[in-house]
């Protein structure tokens, strides 16, 4: 299946660069009869953005969810900082320094921005919630992201798509995770908001985060990423280095059309 | 609810005090309190001069107290996106078990020991039914409506079965103390104002209810577990993806509700010193309706302890007022239904208004 060109690109990618922070190898995952992933591979280094692309149903979100602990994989191996990692729950993943923004954002619509930022890892003081500290921190984070939220006490269901996306991203950034998994972070956004989101992701790269971004928008992919991993029918068909390729080739790999 | 809308629109140009007042009046709890005050004044003007006056109020409190034990955990269950119909069956089962055991064993052991034993038996029944509900809904993914309807009938059937057609009467002894004991009575002798205000003669269930209200409020708004309840009800999957143990939240919610229903039964048995298996009727819908009137959303993720308390007050005030005004009691349910209808319609209206903003 794999052309020599693709193989070469994958090996080049590893080359002399530092060890990847995260490697997922031979990952497979079935939902009943649906084989969502079979032999998927992806890796990412610190200060690098890897785009994960593929058709609808290719298994991108499933791979993200395996890495975030939302799904358990049937087979395969995950290495974090070179060590084999057992990721059996969202907390396991989080404790390994992996933070995820899901495709559907996984926000709590009736809860305010503060509660959404801290869900699952609320701050306490002598056993009771430290609501003042959480509010202060939330205000700080929101200001940092330069998003114009009305108030951190606004329930999320009253926010626009872009504002929700910002809350989801803030949640990831705030806890200082080193590895960020972003599933279609620009899908719900307009042109201006998309642009801001991409800039934000580039900023995170400059902060030496290892970032995997799922996207269908190849213009966005080519603007921000360093490498592109292509998934087809649950299998990684290859990883291309941005400089060595163009969108035509990526589209061909996504659809499985013959390479020249 | 409406406060939310005010917050979305930046309100910097409004004077701070006025905006704070508007926000306060936008809270469900404040609106409800206002309704209760107006209602009280109307009932008094309508001829029931003593309505919620110094004589009536302590009696009113002791009438509300047993329901109050249940409405708090029920509100928390609703906020967590679940609900429990089985509470009436559980309460009646607890009534019967307590009455049966007490009348069998009276005289065979020390009174205090016996009371501890029967209370433990009653609570165990609540614990078991609550755990069955919780495990069925979480582990077996059974539908909460049908599950708790089934366990309601099973518990009610067990209650009538154990009673075997006869109810235990007058198992008095010290058992009355569970409900009648007045912990502040001695204090009243030292501080006459407590007696004058009839605080020192409040019976125990009022204090149980006060404790449950305080604990409910503390857990819901001041602990991680409380926020996890909100998170679970707001979006179960989203909460789970963020590391909230949603099944634990649900299981604990059902167990707490079961225990509270059992405690409600114990208090009733003690008030009546008699244990018919149909002591409680309509408890489930009364507390669910009270919580909803108080702002709890059936879809989960919203509600408050204070709202549930006020909602339950309102339901009992309607009952008292009907009686005190000498209105035909047959109309009580009509009024209750109309109040519930208004509350739900009001919710729908605020939601619609918010969506079109
Ligand atoms: N929880 C689930 N249960 C059953 N099947 C699932 C589940 N999640 C995903 N699948 C299936 O697995 C396959 C891969 O889905 P996935 O969501 O990973 O695709 P994707 O690449 O993210 O697609 P998209 O671009 O549309 O988001 C699909 O066939 C999908 O129907
Ligand atoms: Mg997807």
CA of B38 to the centre of ligand 2 (A): 54
* Among the partner residues B4, B224, B240, nearest to A155 by beta-carbon distance: B4
The closest of A133, A110, A175, A124 to B225, measured between CA atoms, is A124
What pLDDT digit, counting tens, does each position of B155-168 carry?
A: 999 998 888 766 56
> Does any domain span residue A155?
no
Q: Identify the residue among B26, B237, B241, B352 best suited for mutation to test binding to A, counting A beta carbons within 10 A and taking the highest.
A: B241
CA of B134 to the centre of ligand 2 (A): 32
> Does any domain span residue B271?
yes
In a 13 Å sphere around the CA of A17, the CA atoms on its Cβ side amount to 17
CA of A36 to the centre of ligand 1 (A): 6
Q: Are strands A48-53 and A227-232 parallel, antiparallel or unpaired?
A: parallel
> Does any domain span residue A133?
no
d(CA B126, CA B254) in angstroms, rounded, equals: 10
Say whether pLDDT at A52 is over 70: yes
Q: How many domains does chain B have?
A: 1
Q: What's the pLDDT score for residue B179?
A: 66
Q: With contact defined as beta carbons under 8 Å apart, do A205 and A48 qualify?
A: yes
Give the closest-approach CA distance of A171 to chain B in angstroms: 10
d(CA B78, CA B83) in angstroms, rounded, equals: 5
> Does any domain span residue A66?
yes
The closest of B234, B243, B302 to A171, measured between CA atoms, is B243
Instruction: Give ∠ CA A73-A76-A81 in degrees, rounded to 5.
Output: 100
What pLDDT digit, counting tens, does each position of B294-350 carry?
A: 999 888 999 999 999 999 999 999 989 988 888 887 888 888 888 889 888 888 887
CATH number at A45 reads 3.40.50.300
What pLDDT digit, counting tens, does each position of A188-219 carry?
A: 788 888 888 899 899 999 999 999 999 999 99
Give B245: exposed, middle or buried? Use CB within 10 Å, 0-12, 13-18, 19+: middle
Atom of ligand 1 nearest to the CA of A32: 4
Q: What's the pLDDT score for residue B197?
A: 59
Say whether pLDDT at A154 is over 60: yes
> Does any domain span residue A125?
no
Interface contact B8-A154, CB threshold 8 A = yes
What pLDDT digit, counting tens, does each position of B251-308 carry?
A: 999 999 999 999 999 998 888 877 888 888 889 999 999 999 999 988 899 999 999 9
Question: What is chain A's mean pLDDT, rounded?
Answer: 88
d(CA A111, CA B227) in angstroms, rounded, equals: 9
What confidence category does residue B198 fall into, taking pLDDT thresholds of 50, 70 and 90? low
Q: Which domain holds residue A217?
A: 4-97+177-255
d(CA B307, CA B294) in angstroms, rounded, equals: 4
Say whether pLDDT at A2 is over 70: no
Give the closest-approach CA distance of B147 to chain A in angstroms: 26
> Does any domain span residue A122?
no
> Does any domain span residue A124?
no
Interface contact A154-B240, CB threshold 8 A = no
Q: What's the pLDDT score for residue B202?
A: 80
User: Which tokens belong to A36?
Assistant: 């969502």
Tell me if A62 CB under 6 Å of ligand 1: yes
> Does any domain span residue A8?
yes
> Does any domain span residue B2?
no
What mean pLDDT do residues A144-149 have?
Answer: 73
Question: What is chain B's mean pLDDT, rounded?
Answer: 86
Say whether pLDDT at B192 is over 70: no
* Alpha carbon A142 to its chain's center: 20
In a 13 Å sphere around the CA of A44, the CA atoms on its Cβ side amount to 27
What confidence category does residue A146 fall into, taking pLDDT thresholds of 50, 70 and 90? low
Give the ligand with the smallest distance to the CA of A56. 1
What confidence category does residue B173 fall into, taking pLDDT thresholds of 50, 70 and 90? low
User: Which tokens belong to A65?
Assistant: 């969810």
Among A10-24, A232-246, B34-48, the least confident range = A10-24
Q: What's the pLDDT score for residue B133?
A: 98
Query: Who's near B251: CB < 8 A, 6+ residues apart?
Result: B131, B134, B135, B138
CA of A60 to the centre of ligand 2 (A): 5
What confidence category does residue B185 fall into, taking pLDDT thresholds of 50, 70 and 90? low
Query: Who's near A228: CB < 8 A, 6+ residues apart?
Result: A50, A51, A53, A221, A239, A240, A241, A242, A245, A250
> Does any domain span residue A109?
no
CATH number at B303 reads 1.10.3470
What pLDDT digit, counting tens, does each position of B100-154 carry?
A: 888 888 778 887 888 889 899 999 999 999 999 999 999 999 999 999 999 999 9
Q: What's the pLDDT score for residue B181?
A: 67
Asked if A41 has any chain B CB less than 8 Å from its own CB, the reply is no
- Cα of first residue to Cα of last residue in chain B, in angstroms, is 13
What pLDDT digit, counting tens, does each position of A119-132 carry?
A: 999 999 999 999 99
What confidence category does residue B229 fall into, taking pLDDT thresholds of 50, 70 and 90? very high
What confidence category does residue B16 fall into, taking pLDDT thresholds of 50, 70 and 90? low
Q: What's the pLDDT score for residue B271?
A: 83
Tell me if A238 CB under 6 Å of ligand 1: no
Interface contact A120-B243, CB threshold 8 A = yes
Q: How many domains does chain A have?
A: 1
> Does any domain span residue B103?
yes
Phi, psi of B170 (to 5 degrees): 50, 45
| Chain A residues close to B243, C-beta within 8 Å | 89-91, 94, 120-121
Q: Which domain holds residue B140?
A: 36-355
Q: What's the pLDDT score for residue B194?
A: 61
Q: What's the pLDDT score for residue B111?
A: 79
> Does any domain span residue B28?
no
Tell whether pTM > 0.90: no
């Amino acid at each position: 299946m794999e052309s020599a060109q693709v193989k070469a690109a994958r090996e080049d990618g590893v080359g002399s660069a530092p060890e990847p922070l995260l490697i997922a190898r031979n990952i497979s995952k079935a939902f009943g009869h649906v084989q969502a992933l079979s032999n998927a591979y992806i890796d990412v280094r610190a200060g690098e953005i890897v785009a994960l692309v593929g058709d609808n149903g290719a298994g991108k979100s499933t791979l993200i969810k395996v890495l975030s602990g939302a799904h358990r994989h049937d087979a395969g191996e995950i290495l974090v900082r070179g060590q084999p990692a057992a990721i059996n729950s969202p907390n396991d993943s989080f404790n390994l320094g992996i933070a995820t923004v899901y495709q559907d954002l996984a926000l709590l619509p009736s809860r305010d921005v503060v509660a959404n930022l801290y869900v699952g890892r609320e701050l306490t003081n002598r056993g009771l919630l430290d609501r003042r500290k959480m509010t202060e921190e939330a205000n700080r984070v929101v200001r940092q992201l330069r998003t114009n939220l009305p108030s951190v006490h606004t329930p999320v269901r009253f926010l626009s798509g872009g504002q929700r996306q910002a809350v989801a991203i803030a949640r990831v950034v705030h806890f200082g995770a080193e590895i960020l998994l972003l599933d279609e972070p620009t899908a719900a956004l307009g042109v201006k908001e998309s642009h801001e989101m991409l800039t934000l992701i580039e900023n995170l790269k400059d902060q030496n985060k290892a970032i995997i971004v799922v996207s269908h928008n190849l213009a966005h992919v080519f603007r921000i990423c360093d490498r592109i991993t292509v998934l087809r029918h649950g299998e990684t068909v290859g990883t291309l280095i941005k400089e060595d390729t163009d969108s035509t080739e990526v589209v061909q790999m996504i659809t499985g059309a013959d390479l020249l | 609810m409406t406060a939310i809308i005010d917050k979305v629109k930046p309100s910097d140009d409004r004077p701070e005090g006025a905006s704070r007042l508007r926000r306060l009046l936008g809270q469900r709890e404040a609106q409800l309190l206002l309704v209760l005050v107006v209602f009280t004044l109307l009932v008094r003007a309508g001829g029931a001069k003593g309505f919620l006056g110094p004589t009536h109020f302590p009696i009113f409190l002791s009438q509300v107290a047993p329901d109050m034990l249940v409405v708090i955990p029920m509100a928390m269950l609703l906020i967590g996106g679940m609900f429990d119909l089985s509470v009436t069956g559980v309460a009646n089962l607890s009534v019967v078990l307590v009455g049966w055991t007490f009348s069998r064993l009276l005289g065979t052991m020390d009174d205090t020991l016996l009371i501890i034993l029967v209370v433990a038996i009653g609570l165990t029944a609540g614990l078991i039914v609550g755990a069955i509900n919780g495990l069925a809904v979480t582990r077996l993914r059974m539908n909460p409506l049908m599950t708790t309807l089934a366990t309601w009938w099973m518990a009610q059937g067990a209650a009538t079965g154990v009673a075997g057609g006869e109810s235990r009467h007058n198992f008095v002894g010290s058992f009355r103390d569970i409900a009648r004991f007045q912990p502040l009575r001695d204090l009243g002798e030292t501080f006459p104002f407590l007696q004058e205000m009839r605080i020192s003669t409040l019976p125990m269930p009022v204090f149980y209810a006060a404790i449950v209200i305080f604990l409910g409020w503390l857990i819901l708004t001041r602990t991680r577990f409380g926020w996890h309840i909100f998170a679970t009800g707001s979006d179960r999957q989203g909460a789970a993806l963020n590391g909230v143990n949603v099944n634990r939240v649900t299981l604990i919610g059902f167990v707490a509700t079961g225990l509270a229903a059992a405690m409600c039964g114990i208090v009733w048995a003690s008030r009546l010193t008699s244990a018919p298996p149909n002591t409680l009727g309509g408890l489930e819908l009364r507390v669910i309706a009270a919580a909803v009137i108080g702002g709890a959303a059936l879809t989960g993720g919203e509600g408050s302890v204070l709202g549930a308390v006020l909602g339950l007050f309102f339901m009992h005030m309607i009952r008292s007022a009907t009686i005190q005004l000498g209105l035909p009691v047959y109309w009580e349910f009509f009024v209750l239904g109309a109040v519930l209808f208004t509350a739900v319609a009001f919710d729908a209206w605020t939601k619609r208004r918010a969506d079109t903003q």
